[in-house]
Amino acid sequence: MKLSREVKTAILVIFGILFFIFGFNYLKGKNLFNVSDAYYTEFDYNGLTTASPVTIKGNNVGKINKITYIVETGKTRVSFTVDDELKFSKNSKIRLYPLGLLDGNGLAIIPADDDQIAEDGDFLQSEVEPGLIKNLSENFSGLSEGLDDTLKSADSLLVSINGLVEDDSKEGLKHAIKELNLTLTSFKNLSGSF
């Protein structure tokens, strides 16, 4: 059976669309052929992005799908997926922990020792790594103090520069440029003599 040119074109377009959908989802981090189980948890504040990893015992086992602020409760709900091969307890804790100074935060699954296996769609209890909130507040307070000192120094510098070029008129500016040229010329002559 011979296919007409229109049928061949239609098949090519359909494969092109499917390839585009697969490629677009792949670039977003979704693999259409990999089935993952989705779980949910909530935190009092958000320190995550969708690029944050989900780990267990230091191994990357999943990713964050969606971060939603719940207006009624004032909490942040996090939806994340984990490889369907990974089995852990429904009573496991989901810990928010810092990845590093510039890396942000991640989620760690802290497994519990019981036989109640978590299933797709379960809501898991959360916790924040001890000291994370304290470290964040200390870093922000130290940053604000340093920024305050920097702004004071910049203000002093600008006041000094303004005092040097106090004459606002064109003649004052021309005079300052003329003096600068004379200084550069004398420096050139001095360096040439050496």
Give per-residue pLDDT as tens, 96-131: 888 876 777 889 999 888 888 888 888 888 888 876
pTM above 0.75, yes or no: no
- SS3 label, residue 107: strand
Distance CA 49, CA 19 (A): 28
pLDDT interval class at 13 (50, 70, 90): very high
Distance CA 128, CA 105 (A): 11
Position 144 scores a pLDDT of 60
- Beta bridge partners, 104, equal 100
* Cα distances (angstroms) measured from residue 26 to each of 22, 23, 142: 6, 5, 41
Position 141 scores a pLDDT of 55
- SS3 label, residue 117: strand
